[in-house]
Chains A and B, each alone.
Chain A
């Protein structure tokens, strides 16, 4: 502590060394490898139709996974999103059918349905969040509970069968999934826009920084006058709202909802978040990584369908291996810190 060393080298302007961080590049490398394999195996892989198909199908899980990134970064978890999506979809179809009867088919019915889906998602997220933050119930347990509740509610709404949107409405609503702008499908555009917004929110706003702080050490966040409960509640509300948006894009695809709608979406979303490099225990999250994670998972499925090297029935097994590898990678770099 001599006076000479009191003028530290660190006072010099930030010098950022280019660090090759394995967690940063690993998901990207995996994605590139998958694309290369796809190109080698099937010339149709990079076709407009196939790319659109893969991306549009990824959009639902992707939109949900963006919200999940915030929840997990803040040290939380939400297992209920798959059932929540099914329930919101069922509710939306039911109400739209009722409105069609009273108002006749038309755009107002669609707008009412969209508004309802967004509100229902927001409300469902709020219920999860308020019970976790105010009643102090463990997120895993609580959302395990609501997962069962929503799944059962949609089965009940559909009376064990399928809820289908009326024919005219289905035709009118179809373009929201199948249509697009400049040849890019709407779900892809919405997914891309939300991903960019999410990435900016995570990296450059107080909310994103607060999420990471809470996940890193909740007590430190509280002592630093971060409104811990409000931020955590907000992550669940955000996730619920994104589930609503995903449903808005999903319903026009099939025009129906049943007890199996959105099955295992929660696991795919969580897996995508983790593959993307977000820490499962919270404290660090990145939305672009989640997007890469979503793409990796859907490309695996797509590749297996396009080629007959490996049976498509092994899709789950390969996805499982990727998830485990991602977590092993995380743990290794975590120990090196």
Chain B
């Protein structure tokens, strides 16, 4: 089925032939043909739930196909497990990292394949080899650092170093840039290009179509478990890809902007969180969508959490004329302020609990006292499912089994349950497919049209530009500047985020 392109002169190193996969009675992949060629970057895109993860897991030996074959260099293979696949040079980097948090970087890189001298570990050699790999990746992490002290992008780099150390022939990367800043993405791309030149076959998934267009040689689109199209990247536009993923034309990703009033509703003055945020102030107006930009680690999230009462802080926060005390998240919620975390799985939802228990958790007291009224809870869940178009196979299922997009919608429903006047949304669409993205953007615009005020924190420039009428940019824990109207451009945001515009402030920092 796959038409060999000019870059795919070499025969496929790893391929799927009419592969199907069923979990119980439900078939999630319907005869997928897919081939990875040496020296080719092959992007696999599709909405959440389209079958990308399943495809990747079959390729990497985590799952067995129900029907069809996996071909390694033309020969049918059955991997006993991911270990055997890794043994054969097929390595998958997961979105959720596979790192032992308490071990050091070099211990992680060589975990399970430790270098030894006699019966003792050869610490020196492993450390040196790790330092080597990291410097190839332009990553300035000391190999002796425990992994739990690393930032998320650095952990990503360690995962990649681990894969490199195994001399991968096939590298499968599940949304590697979701947690990276633009600069780190550049470093990653340089590495991908280097690996491609060395003849490694690379499978790459991302929701960022711009990246796919840039880095991939070939792009395959999955929709509902079926391969919709597979083309050379040069032959398709981003719009083509998006349309193929969603199965319809995406006219306008961003709804028209709503102008806020001039009346301030939230005023934060001189917010300082020791070590991360320094003397940051901002004003949010009623009915406004305010963007908050900056690099990962610039203090955006910490500022938002400080305002929401989730972090100790100094400085004052006034919401509609009332002062909100520091560190009192329940009080902030009652006053009408809600914060939607960027860490959906770690801080947003109880993954092993049902939809209902997650939805009502922040406001249980209002569902009956002393006994919770189960019917009112179920009714609230009915409303949330309808209003936010949450797709759940069963309402009693654990939230962890929902797709990322549906988790995000449930989290939004949960945060909005308290009917807040001010909503701070941190990374509203991280790891979410384009169809759900559009739904969330429409929702944000609707909330603003209802007179609510919203702060959107995002690493994705188009999102800030598309949603916000005004953007505040942070750099190194300080407010680097503010842009509004036509001045909100990608270039201007990047300059502020890099700390390039205001040299005086930079010196002070």
Show the binding face of A for B, using Cβ within 8 Å: 1-2, 5-6, 8-11, 14-17, 200, 204-206, 209-210, 212-213, 216-217, 219-227, 283-284, 337
B396–A16 touching, CB < 8 Å: yes
Is B276 close to A, CB under 8 A?
no
The 13 listed contacts between A and B (C-beta, < 8 Å) are A1-B247, A8-B391, A14-B378, A16-B396, A205-B372, A217-B351, A219-B347, A220-B348, A220-B350, A222-B310, A224-B361, A283-B350, A283-B352
Closest residue to B367 on the A side, CB-wise?
Answer: A206
Which one, B361, B374, B378, B390, contacts A221 given CB within 8 A? Answer: B361
Complex interface residues of chain B between 16 and 65 (CB less than 8 A to chain A): 47
Q: Quick one: which of A1, A204, A205, A213 has the most chain B CB within 10 A?
A: A1
How far, in whole Å, are A225 and B362 apart by their CA atoms in the complex? 6
Q: When each residue 370-381 of chain B gets 1 if its CB lies under 8 Å from chain A and 0 otherwise, what string results?
A: 111010001000
Is B382 close to A, CB under 8 A?
yes
A337–B391 touching, CB < 8 Å: no
A2–B396 touching, CB < 8 Å: no
A200–B329 touching, CB < 8 Å: no
B370–A10 touching, CB < 8 Å: no
Cβ of B249 to closest chain A Cβ, rounded Å: 13
Given A209-B372, A221-B361, A337-B352, answer yes or no on A1-B246 (Cβ-Cβ < 8 Å).
yes
How far, in whole Å, are A204 and B378 apart by their CA atoms in the complex? 14
Q: Which residues of B contact A222 (CB under 8 A)?
A: 310, 329, 347
A220–B395 touching, CB < 8 Å: no
Is B72 close to A, CB under 8 A?
no
Cβ of A2 to closest chain B Cβ, rounded Å: 6
How far, in whole Å, are A6 and B386 apart by their CA atoms in the complex? 9
Which one, A9, A217, A337, contacts B350 given CB within 8 A? Answer: A217
How far, in whole Å, are A205 and B353 apart by their CA atoms in the complex? 16
Cβ of B374 to closest chain A Cβ, rounded Å: 8
A1–B365 touching, CB < 8 Å: no
Q: Which residues of A contact B351 (CB under 8 A)?
A: 217
Is B394 close to A, CB under 8 A?
yes
B370–A1 touching, CB < 8 Å: no
B346–A219 touching, CB < 8 Å: yes
Cβ of A208 to closest chain B Cβ, rounded Å: 9
B436–A1 touching, CB < 8 Å: yes
How far, in whole Å, are A283 and B351 apart by their CA atoms in the complex? 11
Q: How many A-B residue contacts, CB cutoff 8 Å?
A: 100
Which one, A10, A200, A209, contacts B361 given CB within 8 A? Answer: A209
A225–B330 touching, CB < 8 Å: yes
Q: Which residues of A contact B371 (CB under 8 A)?
A: 200, 204-205
Q: Which residues of B contact A226 (CB under 8 A)?
A: 361-362
Given A10-B390, A217-B350, answer yes or no on A337-B329 (Cβ-Cβ < 8 Å).
no
Which one, B341, B352, B385, B414, contacts A11 given CB within 8 A? Answer: B385
Cβ of A178 to closest chain B Cβ, rounded Å: 34
Cβ of B336 to closest chain A Cβ, rounded Å: 13
A223–B329 touching, CB < 8 Å: yes
Cβ of A253 to closest chain B Cβ, rounded Å: 33
A209–B364 touching, CB < 8 Å: yes
A10–B392 touching, CB < 8 Å: yes
Which one, A5, A8, A210, contacts B364 given CB within 8 A? Answer: A210
Closest residue to A226 on the B side, CB-wise?
Answer: B361
How far, in whole Å, are A31 and B365 apart by their CA atoms in the complex? 36
B370–A8 touching, CB < 8 Å: no
Given A8-B392, A223-B347, answer yes or no on A212-B353 (Cβ-Cβ < 8 Å).
yes
B435–A1 touching, CB < 8 Å: yes
B362–A224 touching, CB < 8 Å: yes
B435–A10 touching, CB < 8 Å: no
Which one, A10, A212, A224, contacts B394 given CB within 8 A? Answer: A10
Q: Which residues of B contact A204 (CB under 8 A)?
A: 371-372, 374
How far, in whole Å, are A165 and B351 apart by their CA atoms in the complex? 53
Closest residue to A3 on the B side, CB-wise?
Answer: B248
Cβ of B107 to closest chain A Cβ, rounded Å: 25
A11–B350 touching, CB < 8 Å: no
Is B210 close to A, CB under 8 A?
no
Is B105 close to A, CB under 8 A?
no
Cβ of B413 to closest chain A Cβ, rounded Å: 13
How far, in whole Å, are A8 and B369 apart by their CA atoms in the complex? 32
Q: When each residue 312-343 of chain B gets 1 if its CB lies under 8 Å from chain A and 0 otherwise, what string results?
A: 00000000000000000110110000010101
How far, in whole Å, are A284 and B357 apart by their CA atoms in the complex? 12
B347–A206 touching, CB < 8 Å: no
How far, in whole Å, are A15 and B392 apart by their CA atoms in the complex? 13
The 9 A-B pairs with the shortest beta carbon distances in the complex, nearest first, are: A206-B364, A1-B435, A225-B330, A224-B362, A224-B361, A204-B371, A223-B347, A10-B392, A225-B329
How far, in whole Å, are A263 and B339 apart by their CA atoms in the complex? 48
Q: Which residues of A contact B374 (CB under 8 A)?
A: 204
Cβ of A75 to closest chain B Cβ, rounded Å: 12
Q: Which residues of B contact A14 (CB under 8 A)?
A: 378, 395-396
Cβ of B130 to closest chain A Cβ, rounded Å: 31
Q: Which residues of B contact A220 (CB under 8 A)?
A: 346-350, 361
A209–B392 touching, CB < 8 Å: no
Closest residue to A205 on the B side, CB-wise?
Answer: B370
Is B115 close to A, CB under 8 A?
no
A1–B47 touching, CB < 8 Å: yes
- Known pairs A1-B435, A10-B391 / 8 extra A-B pairs, C-beta < 8 Å: A14-B395, A14-B396, A15-B394, A205-B371, A206-B367, A223-B347, A226-B361, A227-B330
A216–B352 touching, CB < 8 Å: yes
Cβ of B352 to closest chain A Cβ, rounded Å: 6
Q: Which residues of A contact B392 (CB under 8 A)?
A: 8, 10
Given A6-B389, A8-B390, answer yes or no on A223-B310 (Cβ-Cβ < 8 Å).
yes
Q: Which residues of A contact B364 (CB under 8 A)?
A: 206, 209-210
Q: Quick one: which of A8, A210, A216, A224 has the most chain B CB within 10 A?
A: A224
Is B393 close to A, CB under 8 A?
yes
Complex interface residues of chain B between 102 and 124 (CB less than 8 A to chain A): none
Q: Which residues of A contact B350 (CB under 8 A)?
A: 213, 216-217, 220-221, 283
How far, in whole Å, are A283 and B352 apart by their CA atoms in the complex? 8
B393–A10 touching, CB < 8 Å: yes
Q: Which residues of B contact A200 (CB under 8 A)?
A: 371
Closest residue to A204 on the B side, CB-wise?
Answer: B371
How far, in whole Å, are A206 and B364 apart by their CA atoms in the complex? 6
Q: Which residues of A contact B386 (CB under 8 A)?
A: 11
How far, in whole Å, are A221 and B329 apart by their CA atoms in the complex? 11
Q: Which residues of B contact A15 (CB under 8 A)?
A: 394
Q: Which residues of A contact B362 (CB under 8 A)?
A: 224-226
Q: Quick one: which of A9, A206, A210 has the most chain B CB within 10 A?
A: A206
Closest residue to A283 on the B side, CB-wise?
Answer: B352
Is B494 close to A, CB under 8 A?
no
